[in-house]
A and B are shown apart, each in its own frame.
Chain A
Amino acid sequence: MIASLSGLTTEFVATKINYGAVLPMLVVFGAAMIGVLVEAFAPRAVRYGAQVGVALVGLVAAFMAVVLAVGHQGSTLAGAVVIDGPALFLQGTILALSVLSVLAMAERFDGIGADAFTAQGAAAPGSPQESAAVRAGATTTEVFPLTMFAIGGMLLFPAAGDLLTMFVALEVLSLPLYILSGLASRRRLLSQEASLKYFLLGAFSSAFFLFGAALLFGYSGSMDLGVIAKAIGTQSGMDGLLVPGVLLVLVGLLFKIGAVPFHSWTPDVYQGAPTPVTGFMAACTKVAAFGAILRFVYVGVGDSRWDWAPALWAVAILTMVVGAVLSITQTDVKRLLAYSSIAHAGFVLTGLLAFDRVGVSSVMFYVVAYGFSTIAAFAIVSLVRDGGSEATHLSQWAGLGRTHPIVAGAFAFLLLAFAGIPLTSGFTAKFAVFSAAIGHGATPLAVVGVLASAIAAFVYVRVIVLMYFTESGGDSVRVVPPSILTSAAVTIGVAMTLVLGVVPAPLLDLASRSALFLR
């Protein structure tokens, strides 16, 4: 008490801000702010075009700012933000994947607004309020500023230098996602349920994160990851605070990547959310959350890993096995992809547990490869329709290979990438994480990972067989002809999946060059 009182009288020092380093985040938040103003003041007729334009221009400008920020690396904002190799690599990844996500979200087929979103999220499905909102010309363009705010939080998440900044970033990226998951234009009840579940469980996990951060503050006297790392070497006899603190923070972070046993929200939310938003969550949220876990584990508490790494091993094994096994029983394409994303989170954790620079680069390569494939996969799911709504039941996909060979071929290729077949990015990425694990004392994890991949491969191959070698049940299922937006998202996603499988060397090099955390 006395010390803190005397601390108040010391001179207040203004923090130095390296604007070059934080420019990508400023650009994205600025674009989100412009989006809010467009939403308020632009006439309805031009809103859709303006919002998509602002979002895409903002994302591309932010990507260029990331490239420029390479010369501005360092800790800034009094240590709250650390811009280093992994932060820049992951920020660039998030921005590139976000461009594809926004393209997929902007798809409107022949309607007037973005097709996947409802005009009024609060209205009950089929209610007079909803039809009144549609008659009054309510637009669905609010999703673009919301997405931009989420992307801003995601950019901050892997660059957070202390636990409080990390928490703020976690909330900034989560709150828009809670809203976005509830805005599906079809199957409204499922979507609202997804939104509520995601919000409640997300709030729980935030509480875990905060509690863990408080314990680590009690242990080290600081929220700063660097100070916590120093305290681990010098502070003794307080392990009762350190280990629970680390585990609780990890619970909060593992929730975001959907690791078992914190995965229960994933299938429901992935199924209920609008399909382009699901792709966005599966790709970009995972990139950001793995970045945060990497920083927390490698910069902050890595020196005490003998105390808590066994728990993370158990989580990784459970995640791979449960994700792969439960995907066998799924009959819904979106749920199947959700369980597949859980299994993939386990594979990435395997690379993370190498506790080496190779582990960092393999994780970063994996999230890029998986992100491009998964956005394209969900974009394709949003095209296959039965009547007005998406045909997500697996039986409806039977015979798609004969009726729509191009779309089915692209989806089959992406499934092969998820399975990890050579000449796809999935193989390179899996090879990178498993070899990192084997090289640094995590061979059992790699063995489990290979077995889980084999189980998961069975699931993917079963879907391919269903599409190509099964008679179609009825002819009401068809692929809606996509506009240039979705076509671009799918094409780029599939192309990147192929390129990263055939010539992965440039990106692998970039990942390993930027895999060094600034401490």
Chain B
Amino acid sequence: MSACAEPDLREETDLGLVRLTRVSPYLTVGGVVLTGVFLFVAGMGARRLLAPYAPTAMKLTTYECGVDPVGDGWAQTNVRYFLYAFLYVVFAVDAVYLFPWATVIRSADLGMASLAEMGIFIGVLLVGLAHAARRGLLRWV
């Protein structure tokens, strides 16, 4: 299936199978999607055929046991959960940029400039973090 994933275009693998070097990448993607759909349908179909089906009103409720749900599904979410999104941006998204930077920090011509640029980048994030901390957003709620 992975005709285009590797740069070398060997016609034959170790197992002796001939690869399809001329297959369009779109065909590969389409094949993967179709296989996925087939696996899902096969799994659900097999369950439907094999499992016994004897519904009662109790069994059809969302929770068969535990505390009865109160109210309906459309409820207001507390706005303080934005805190998690905020912390995620500050601590996780910056890591996305820090990892590639780690590969060039030792290079002679990029090292110092990239260090300064990263300092500015993290400084900007720290301003946001300082603001959040001063507003008491980092206290556990």
Contact = CB atoms under 8 A, between A and B. Distances in A.
Interface of A: 1-2, 5-6, 12, 14, 33, 36-37, 39-41, 122
13 contacts: A5-B7, A12-B104, A12-B110, A14-B110, A14-B113, A33-B124, A36-B128, A36-B131, A37-B127, A40-B130, A40-B131, A40-B134, A41-B130
B127 A36 contact: yes
B135 interface: yes
Interface string B15-45: 0000000000100000000000000000000
B110 A40 contact: no
Contacts of A122: 79
B5 interface: yes
A6 B7 CA distance: 9
Contacts of B128: 36
Contacts of A36: 127-128, 131
Contacts of A5: 7
Contacts of B134: 40-41
Q: Which DSSP category, helix, strand, loop or mixed, fits chain A's interface?
A: helix
Contact of A37 (B4, B25, B110, B130): B130
A1 to B, nearest CB: 5
B107 to A, nearest CB: 9
Given A1-B4, A2-B7, A12-B104, A39 B131 contact: yes
B109 interface: yes
A12 B25 CA distance: 28
A1 B5 CA distance: 8
Nearest to A37: B127
B44 to A, nearest CB: 32
B8 to A, nearest CB: 10
A40 B135 contact: yes
A14 B25 CA distance: 33
Given A1-B5, A5-B7, 16 more contacts: A1-B4, A1-B25, A2-B7, A12-B110, A14-B109, A14-B110, A33-B127, A36-B127, A36-B128, A36-B131, A37-B127, A39-B131, A40-B130, A40-B134, A40-B135, A122-B79
Contacts of A40: 130-131, 133-135
A139 to B, nearest CB: 12
A12 B109 CA distance: 11
B51 to A, nearest CB: 41
A224 B67 CA distance: 58
Interface in B82-141: 104, 109-110, 113-114, 124, 127-128, 130-131, 133-135
Interface residues of B, number: 18
B47 to A, nearest CB: 37
Contacts of B4: 1-2
Task: Return the 6 tightest CB-CB contacts between A and B, nearest first.
Answer: A40-B134, A40-B131, A36-B131, A1-B4, A2-B7, A33-B127
A41 to B, nearest CB: 6
Contacts of B135: 40
Given A12-B104, A12-B110, A37 B131 contact: yes
B9 to A, nearest CB: 9
Contacts of A41: 130, 134
A149 to B, nearest CB: 12
Contacts of A33: 124, 127
Nearest to B113: A14
A39 B131 CA distance: 7
Which of A2, A33, A40 lies at the interface centre, i.e. has the most chain B CB atoms within 10 A of its CB? A40
A198 B23 CA distance: 47
Contacts of B124: 33
A426 B70 CA distance: 60
A5 B133 CA distance: 43
A33 B133 CA distance: 15
B41 to A, nearest CB: 30
B96 to A, nearest CB: 16
A244 B110 CA distance: 41
A345 to B, nearest CB: 34
A165 B128 CA distance: 23
Contacts of A37: 127, 130-131
Contacts of B79: 122
A36 B126 CA distance: 11
Contacts of A39: 131
A419 B9 CA distance: 70
Nearest to A145: B131
A41 B126 CA distance: 14
Contacts of B7: 2, 5-6
Nearest to A33: B127
A41 B135 CA distance: 10
Nearest to B128: A36
A182 B79 CA distance: 15
A293 to B, nearest CB: 30
B74 to A, nearest CB: 16
Nearest to B25: A1
